Each structure stands twice: as C-alpha cells, then as structure tokens.
Structure 1
Amino acid sequence: MRIFVTGSTGFVGSAVVKELLSAGHKVLGLTRSDAGIKQLENQGAEALHGTIEDLELLKKAASECDAVIHLAFVHDFADFAGSCATDRAAITAMGSVLAEAGGDRALVITSGTMLLPRGKLGDEDDAPDMTNPMSAARGPSEQVCLDFAKQGVRASVVRLPPTTHGLGFSGFMGPFVTVALQKGVAAYLGEGENRWCAGHRDDAARIFRLAAEKATPGSIFHAVGEEGVPTKEIAIAVGKQLDIPVVSIPPEKAEEHFGWFWFGAVADNVASSAKTRERLGWTLEGAPLMEDIPAIVDFMKSQAA
C-alpha cells in the first residue's frame, strides 16, 4: 500500500513510518520543516512539505494513496477549540477524497483515551465524555472520521494513552519530569491513587499499521499496554532516577505546583485494550512504563541542559 502519513516526523509518527516501511508499504510523509524532509528521506520515505491547514494539499496527497494515517495536531492550547476545528477540517478533506475514489481505501485518525470518562475503565466502544470541555472540543473528530465508514471508507480511530512512551518526550511523562527538574521534588497529588494508562509507541505504531491494513469500517482501537499506572509509583520512579525527594501535594494546590500541566496531574485515566487485541490480533512487545522511566528522565534532563 501507499500510505499518506501526517505528523510523520513526530514522536509517534516517526515510529509509525518505520513500522510501515518495515512491513513493505510505501510512505508519503507530511512535514513542515527541512529537517523533517531529511528525516523522512533518511528513513526511506517520500516527503511532502506542508501543513494540515493546507486542505488542497491534503486532498491531493490522499487522492494519490491507498490509505491515510492522520497523526498531526496543532498543539495550540491557547486556542484548543481552533486546533480541534483544524483537525476536523483536515479529516473531512482527506476522508472526502478517499470516499470519492472508492475501492478499499483506509482512513485512520488519532484520538486519545483522555477523552473518556474520568476514573472509569474505558473500552473501545465507550464514547468521549462530552461534559468534559476538552472532550467536547476534540471528541467530535472521532465521529467525523467514523462517518466516512458509511461512504465506503475503512475509517477507524486509534486512541493513544496520555503516557505513550519510549525514548523521547513520552506524553505526560515529559511535562511531569520537567516540573520535577524545576521544583527539585517529584510530586503526586494526595495519596497518588489517580492513574494514567500507558503504552509503548512501537506497540502503538503496530496498531496504526494493522488498522490501515485490515480495520473493519467504524472501528475504534486503544493503544494501551497498561490499564492504569498510579501516579505515586511514577513519582517514586522519577524521584529515584533524579535523586530528589518524592512528596505529596494537596490536590487543591495542583495548579500552583504543576502550572499548565495541572490537568494531567489530576487525571485519572484508565482504559482497556482487550477489544483491540481481539479485533486486530495485536500483542504487546514494547517495555512497560516503569522500565522506560530512567531513559525518559535522562532524555528530559538532556533537553533541559
């Protein structure tokens, strides 16, 4: 297959490109930078310079491919609603072209388990919690994608856990470690019983490939390896690696301590991937979060130096 990948040079996207190429697919990767072009070409992919705001470019690229894997997102939290609108427009542009082309075309988009109800073990068939402002803004992207299943597109959604990890920024782990470096303590809230589900980016990359290859139209998948890791355990592991104290912070002081990342610090996001494993024959190969934390911490230290 020839597959168009947006966000192709990102933390997860670069792993997806590697996975696709290893499986014998051809990749057309969207990138905003000259460095991204070089990265893609070095991997053996074809590079396309542009952004997801350029809808005509997206349409042309999608029309020339058998599948689209959409990972790019404008991370502008000052205008999150605007970023989500851009996301929906991009999905609509690419999906409409695939629908018009006909045949066995696939559209795979990226979402997140953070959109699910707080504190409840969520599965693939659960809908986003639309009472949550973040979910209300981004959740509609899922339905925009899945609606293309009614038009003959093999449309599917991959929900990433907030702690999608590996050597690099690793989702929530990046800002969590950054705050620990700045404050000189590794903190958790209250008893530290709130949890983050987690998954290795290489395992996530395989889900994107499998979804492009054989997803049933209208499917949702969870790239979750661990259903929920308590934040206290995460703080202890980070504190050990940084050789700093591990402390409990009162929940009401979350924003004071964690700044903009307070929403992640208070999150209790647990999710299952049982249906994903059954539907795709997906198995876990990547390391669990605790094994990756030393490398993640060292990476974040190098970025702060």
Structure 2
Amino acid sequence: MKVFVTGASGFIGTAVVSELASLGHEVVGLARSEESAAKIKSLNPAVKILHGELKDLDTLKRGAAESEGVIHLGFVHDFKKFDECCEIDRQATVAMLESLKGTNRPFIYTSGTFGLRSGKVAHEGDASDENFKSPRALTEETALSYKDKGVSVRCVKLAPSVHGKGDKAFIPMLMNIAKTAGESGYVGQGRNVWPAVHRLDAAHLFRLVLEKGRSGRVYHGVAEQGIPLKDIAQAIGEVLDVPAVSIPVNNAEEHFGIMVLFIARDGPTSSETTRKELGWEPKQLGLLEDIRTNYRSA
C-alpha cells in the first residue's frame, strides 16, 4: 500500500515509517526541511519524500490524493501557542480528508488519551471529557465524521507517555524540572496514574490499524494502563540522584510550570478492545524500566 505519513521525521513517525517500509509498504514522508528529508531517507532508502509542512494545504491534498492511505502524525508542539497549533492541525486534517472523500481509503488521525474522562478506567468507546476538551478533541470528532463521507477514518489515541530512545516529551520535561529543582516531584500522594506505551509498540499499532482497522473506530495506544506518578518521580529521582518529594497542590504551578496541566491528571486507560480486535501485543520495555535503563543521558 502507498502510505502518506505526516510527522514522518518525528519521534513516533520515524518508528512508523521504519515499520511500514520494512514490511513492504510504499511510504511517502512529509518533510519540512532538507534535514528532515535526510533523516527520513536514512530509515529506508526506498522511502520517498514530499517536501512541505502542515501549513502547505495544497501539498497535503496532493500527498493524500496520490496515496492509498494516510497516517497523520504531524503536529506543531508549541504549548505556548497551543490553540494556534491546533488550528493548523484542524486545517491540515480537513484538507487531507477532503482529498479522500468518496475513496474509502484509510485515514488515521492521532490524538491522546488525556482527553478522556479522568479518575476512572477509560475504554475505546468512551466519550471525551467535557471538562478537559481541547481543540484537538474537536478535530478528532471532525475527522471521524468523514466516515459518512466515504473515508475509512480511524483514530489512535496515544498514552501521554510514548517513551523510548529520542523521547523529548513529558518524561524528559519532568527530568529537566527535577534537575533544576534538585528534587523529583509529584503532586499530593502521587497516586494518580499515567498510561504509557513504547514508541516501537506504538508504531506496530499504527500499522495494524492501517491494515486491519475499521472505519469510525477509536483504538488505544496503551501498553500499561496506569503508572502512579509517585513511581515515575521515584524512577526519575534514581536516575538523577535526587529525592522524590511531594509537591503541595498550592505550589504545583510554580514547581511544574506548563506541566501543571498534566502532572496531577489521573488517566487510567484500557486497550483491551484494541488488542482483541487487532491482535496487538506490546512487547517492549515498560516505562519505569525504560527510564531507569535508557534515560540517564536525557
């Protein structure tokens, strides 16, 4: 299958491109620079490059129209301009979907499990949390609506911690905060949990969703249902040789900065339906072992 991948040079995208190309799919990766293009080509010489970025809607339309399937992983990760980044994502998503209308070709949208209801185990059929609804959740709803417009839309909700070599997201951010503060923090008793998945397991899931997924379905990229934040803080503390400490709720914003939006969120998430339907079996290191083994130079 000829597959157009946005975010192809990213942390998850490189794993997805490698997974697809190694199993015979013809991959076209979106590259915003020569450096990104070289990174994508280094994964597999057979991978083709489409030069452009998420704001180049005509390029995205062409990439989607000329493909037999799309995996949309690209997103501008700038928390200071989050709403603006979400609007870029919305326009990019709609542009590609419009190019696919009536073709019944697969389109995979990527979002996160943090948008699900907090405090209880979330399942694949659960609705988004109305109290924590980001613009990305609205774009996800828009994308899924195209199942009624002749596009085989599927959604992969990824765990908040997609970990592994090259991670630049939540765990490295928490490590940098701990380095600066001289202590690895969690809020209150640290009993709230984060789901997690290794990037290679996530890449395998995206391939399965492309090949076997069903239109209108939501799949959970979750290998571990929920890891207590206190355990994560302790693992980070061991790696950095700093104490793991409880941060009072009133001091959380000062200590964690932008991460305060996520640090105390309780998001246990099941992937039981995803595993049963697709035969997905995560096999890589768990988050705590990965932190202790591979994050010492993060």
Aligning the two structures, in what range does the TM-score lie when normalised by the shorter sequence?
over 0.9
The TM-score, its normalising length taken from structure 1, stands at 0.94
Q: 8 Å contact 1:177–1:297 — kept in the other structure?
A: no
Correspondence for 1:15: 15
SS in 2 for 1:12: helix
Partners of 1:182 and 1:283 in 2: how far apart?
38
Amino acid of the residue matched to residue 151 of structure 1? K
Which string of whole-angstrom CA distances, capped at 9 and with x for unpartnered residues, describes residues 110-157 of structure 1? 00001011112111111111222xx24221111111111112221100
Q: 8 Å contact 1:172–1:264 — kept in the other structure?
A: no
Which string of whole-angstrom CA distances, capped at 9 and with x for unpartnered residues, describes residues 215-262 of structure 1? 110010001011110011111111111111121111121111111211
Correspondence for 1:97: 99
Partners of 2:28 and 2:297 in 1: how far apart?
29
Change (3 A) 1:243 1:78: closer
1:299 CA drift (Å)? 3.2
Which stretch has the larger CA shift, 76-85 or 273-282? 76-85
Task: Find out whether 1:39 has 2:42 as its counterpart.
Answer: no
Residue 166 of structure 1, aligned match among 145, 161, 164: 164
Change (3 A) 1:113 1:84: same
Is there any run of 5+ residues in structure 2 with no aligned partner, and where?
Answer: none
Task: Find out whether 1:56 has 2:64 as its counterpart.
Answer: no
Correspondence for 1:80: 82
1:1-305 correspondence to structure 2 within 5 Å: 1-44=1-44, 45-100=47-102, 102=103, 104-132=104-132, 135-169=133-167, 171-300=169-298
Amino acid of the residue matched to residue 290 of structure 2? D
Q: 8 Å contact 1:170–1:296 — kept in the other structure?
A: no
1:183 CA drift (Å)? 1.0
1:294 CA drift (Å)? 2.4
Identity over the aligned pairs, expressed in percent? 42
Partners of 1:43 and 1:136 in 2: how far apart?
33
SS in 1 for 2:191: coil
Partners of 2:38 and 2:86 in 1: how far apart?
29
The TM-score, its normalising length taken from structure 2, stands at 0.96
RMSD across aligned positions (CA): 1.3
Amino acid of the residue matched to residue 5 of structure 1? V
1:43 CA drift (Å)? 1.6
Amino acid of the residue matched to residue 9 of structure 2? T
Partners of 2:154 and 2:127 in 1: how far apart?
14
1:278 CA drift (Å)? 1.3
Number of corresponding residues = 296
Partners of 2:90 and 2:258 in 1: how far apart?
25
Is there any run of 5+ residues in structure 1 with no aligned partner, and where?
Answer: 301-305
1:108 CA drift (Å)? 0.2
Partners of 1:137 and 1:26 in 2: how far apart?
32
